[in-house]
Structure 1
Amino acid sequence: MKYLLIPIVFTCLLVSSCTRTSIKENPRIKQLDTLMTYSHDHGMFNGSIAILQNNTIIFKQSYGFTNNNTTQKINTETLFYIASISKQFTAMAIMILQERGLLNYDDTISKYLPELKSIHKDVNIKNLLQHTSGISDRTYYQLTNPNNQDVFEKLKSLEDSSIGNPNQRFSYSNTGYVLLAFIIEKVSKTTIQDFFQKEIFDKLDMSRTTTYKEKFTSDLNKAYPYNILGLKSTYSSSVIGPGGIYSTVTDLIQWNTAINNNKLVTENTKKLAFTNGSIEGKPISFKLGKNEFGYGFGWSPFSKYNDHYVRHDGSTEGYRALIRKNLSKNTDIILLTNHGGAFAMDEIVDKLDQILETQTYTPPKIPLTNQIMNILNTKDIDAVVTMLTSTLNQDNKPDERVLGRLGYTMQNNGKINDAIALYKVNLDLYPTSINALYVLGEAYLSEKKYKLAKEIYNRFLEVQPDSEYAIEKLKLINGGLNKNNQ
């Protein structure tokens, strides 16, 4: 069963500003284009990229389509949702106001938002910037398609001092950045949209960048979001602060260069934004994949091969974005995609570094999820299972979550049989995994395959004998078996 049909066209048609002569004349540019073309052809990248060295653009191209149905080509003026990269702009707004003497990083939230009795009295602006406030996103994610006011009203309704215990641990908090947006509005006496527009977008000639969803929706040169299955996805949240900004690779070059040249704040303030925070005297530390990062003000500092970097990415099911700065070599990378789940970010960035450092190129490893989708685009789930069972074993296992997440996406998009096939392979690889047992059992139940579900929940009890969850499921299954004899 084909999941997505992509028209076959000449590569040059996929690349905006397709200056093939200039690419051929510069070996490094040719290598970069070869890498990105390979990544696009193998389903790992669909979008725009820019690379700068000492504020000079050395590579700026686009690959693929804004809309899979119309095959409208992406170009460097195409609008994307940049998701959590918006946090850089929110942090910048706070830094601008601090330099103007209108607030201090150590000011408590209650000074500006006294209505929020639920927020711990010691939480301050710096805590919100660095995600050390202890404010979780439980409330945020309980809301359906929220805007900032929805989040505020929900927090306002909760019990006194029930949220936040600052300086205990790093806990990434979108809610915290919603509160920063309210503080910006309170101090500047204008809306967050107008502040961004007047103080950042207009000053930096970011003419295509906006926080207005309706402006993005009506734009004829916007990128539609697609999930890992190649199906259109949606993003309905209207919060501004943790997200909410739509931009282009051209405008983000302006943003990136302005940061480098201290156009909005001083060098000292910028350095503070790039400096890792601390908790009880120890540096902030969290892991993404195999890498370890800190957190400053809207930026995550880290080190790699003795070079110092800062970065931030943004992610929804359909959109993904990255800005990464090598501070040691003054090299900046900007990536935007509307095929968020298919974006092989780590693999591509590693190869970009290889080219920039050595001017050599070897193709990146195609992630397992992309391999699976490449097969499904021309064959069916049986071919995927054959590939997985022939190449994976107990000594060569993917991260347990890889097949589970892809199966979950399939299940949510009505492809339950394909999901079950992946869940079964995952359970073969991780036979005592509670999560692998859980998702397969639930999938069987949803299809009223009670005998198969019973086998799974009995295995669940072998792994976790006192599981009330599995016991209750078996009671439910026995009732279903008695009724349906399945």
Structure 2
Amino acid sequence: MLTRRLIRSGCLALLIVLGMGRVWAEDSLLVEQVEELLPRHVGAAVMAVDEGKVIFKHAWGNRRFDETEPCTTSTNFRLASVSKQFTATAILLLVDQKVVELDDTIDRFFPECPDYWHNITVHHLLSHTSGLPDYENLIPEGTTLQLMDLNVLELLRATEKPLFEPGAKFAYSNSGYALLGLIVEAAADCRFQDFLRTEVFKPLGMNRSLLYVAGMNRVPERAFGHELDSEKNWIVGDQSLTSAVRGDGGVYSSLDDLELWITDLDQEHLLSDSSYTKMFTPQVRSDRGQQDYGYGWFLDTYRGERRTMHAGETRGFSLMLQRFPNRQAAVVILLNRSALDPPGDYVDQIVDCLLFDRDD
């Protein structure tokens, strides 16, 4: 049984968790400082890890603007495109199991497909170099029902040529990651959400994280998305036409579970050494400044530190996960509000506050 002691001195509350080797201090002044850096929100959750230990973890606000359930460190937010790292992990697990190869062309998994798919590989999908058009641009005008993965597949099957030759350049593609989720199902012979639950989340102890599929599972302690109306009041804005597509953005998770995820990325237990190396090796120069792309992660440097990162934006949610692997550090920011327009620089300010400009 864990022993907990709470020691208070002025504004500092030090929580010592014996038996787990974790010590972190919650400084109410730092909590206020981080909250001031956050944009206006309904609910928010922020965590920082340094040298493999949690140094900050706090949640603010509510899961839904018109209800009273507070956001906590176990509240599940929709991760949007931060989900892509889990889709990439699922594929790399299948590579480790020798069920999938990175140079497999995708006609292996989708026999009825356009001719140009014979030149697109799993590697191209993972690295956003496939040349596939974004399925969002293919949705017929007037569509009101949410798209499912098979709807995306049919939209893409109806295309006749790529935007560019596969492998020629980087072009961020939700289409590629939607297809990767379907490839997991075809190769593993099980539903994508079940594969993530049994092969990724459960082994890491992320028991409250899930790939959400309406009517098939339920999000515990769910944060709902929000947006501002014309008078700048909050309204629930939680789903869009593309919110039911899984591989590009359907995972829900919390600070508590993402702490376990970050720990595994530092300790590298789930995948083979080769797969972790491929995931975080620059596969292509992106079209976003000096950033490269690996498999499910943007790669660059920040303030002299190697950084791996991914943002997530969808209707009602905006998120960021940044890692600094050389110092086993990370910052996670989860908001149940749509992204700022124009975007702010609050992310870097919070990273600086919690990691680089911190007074120890």
Coarse TM-score class (shorter-chain normalised): 0.7 to 0.9
Deviation for aligned residue 1:351: 3.7
Tell me which protein shows more helix as a share of its residues. 1
Distance 1:217 1:87 in 2: 20
Q: Note if 1:235 corresponds to 2:223.
A: no
Residue in 2 aligned with 1:322? 320
Q: List gaps (5 residues or longer) in structure 1.
A: 1-18, 279-283, 362-486
Contact 1:308 1:327 (8 Å CA) reproduced: yes
Residue in 2 aligned with 1:97? 94
Deviation for aligned residue 1:139: 5.5
Give the aligned residue type for 2:279: A
Q: Note if 1:71 corresponds to 2:68.
A: yes
Q: How does 1:113-192 map to 2 (within 5 A)?
A: 113-117=110-114, 119-138=116-135, 142=139, 144=143, 145-159=146-160, 161=161, 165-192=165-192
Q: Identity of counterpart residues, as a percentage? A: 27
Give the aligned residue type for 1:171: A
Give the aligned residue type for 1:153: E
2:262 to 256, 263, 271: 256
Residue in 2 aligned with 1:53? 50
Residue in 2 aligned with 1:206? 206
Residue in 2 aligned with 1:352? 351
CA deviation vs aligned residue, 1:408-437 (integer Å, no higher than 9, x gap): xxxxxxxxxxxxxxxxxxxxxxxxxxxxxx
- The CA RMSD over aligned residues, in Å, is 2.7
CA deviation vs aligned residue, 1:31-53 (integer Å, no higher than 9, x gap): 5313223235x626831111112
Distance 2:158 2:164 in 1: 15
Residue in 2 aligned with 1:24? 12
Deviation for aligned residue 1:198: 0.9
Contact 1:130 1:277 (8 Å CA) reproduced: yes
Question: When the two structures are aligned, how many residues end up with a matched partner?
Answer: 333
Contact 2:268 2:276 (8 Å CA) reproduced: yes
Distance 1:341 1:126 in 2: 30
SS in 2 for 1:171: coil
Q: Note if 1:62 corresponds to 2:59.
A: yes
Deviation for aligned residue 1:220: 6.5
Q: How does 1:31-46 map to 2 (within 5 A)?
A: 32-39=30-37, 43=40, 46=43
CA deviation vs aligned residue, 1:81-107 (integer Å, no higher than 9, x gap): 111111101100111111111222112
Give the aligned residue type for 1:35: Q
Residue in 1 aligned with 2:283? 277
Residue in 1 aligned with 2:18? none
SS in 2 for 1:115: coil
Distance 2:272 2:261 in 1: 15
Deviation for aligned residue 1:21: 3.2
C-alpha change, 1:345 and 1:255, in structure 2 (3 Å) is farther
C-alpha change, 1:215 and 1:256, in structure 2 (3 Å) is farther
SS in 2 for 1:335: strand
Distance 2:216 2:99 in 1: 32
Tell me which protein shows more strand as a share of its residues. 2
C-alpha change, 1:243 and 1:25, in structure 2 (3 Å) is closer
Distance 1:232 1:36 in 2: 25
Contact 1:45 1:342 (8 Å CA) reproduced: no
SS in 2 for 1:334: strand
CA deviation vs aligned residue, 1:179-227 (integer Å, no higher than 9, x gap): 1112111111111111111101111121111223437996562212111
SS in 2 for 1:202: helix
CA deviation vs aligned residue, 1:421-469 (integer Å, no higher than 9, x gap): xxxxxxxxxxxxxxxxxxxxxxxxxxxxxxxxxxxxxxxxxxxxxxxxx
Runs of 4+ in 1 over 6 A off after TM superposition: none
SS in 2 for 1:58: strand
Distance 2:166 2:329 in 1: 35
Distance 2:325 2:130 in 1: 28
CA deviation vs aligned residue, 1:249-270 (integer Å, no higher than 9, x gap): 1111111111211121123321
Between 1 and 2, higher relative CO (CA 8 Å, sep ≥ 6) is seen in 2
Q: How does 1:260-409 map to 2 (within 5 A)?
A: 260-278=266-284, 284-287=285-288, 292-342=290-340, 346-359=345-358
Distance 1:353 1:218 in 2: 36
Give the aligned residue type for 1:193: Q
Contact 1:120 1:163 (8 Å CA) reproduced: no
> What is the TM-score when the length of structure 2 is the normalising length?
0.83
Deviation for aligned residue 1:30: 4.7
Give the aligned residue type for 2:130: S
Q: List gaps (5 residues or longer) in structure 2.
A: 1-5, 15-24
C-alpha change, 1:352 and 1:155, in structure 2 (3 Å) is closer
C-alpha change, 1:332 and 1:198, in structure 2 (3 Å) is same
Could you say which structure has the larger radius of gyration?
1
Q: How does 1:399-478 map to 2 (within 5 A)?
A: none
Deviation for aligned residue 1:156: 2.6
Distance 2:131 2:48 in 1: 36
Distance 1:218 1:187 in 2: 25
Give the aligned residue type for 2:322: R
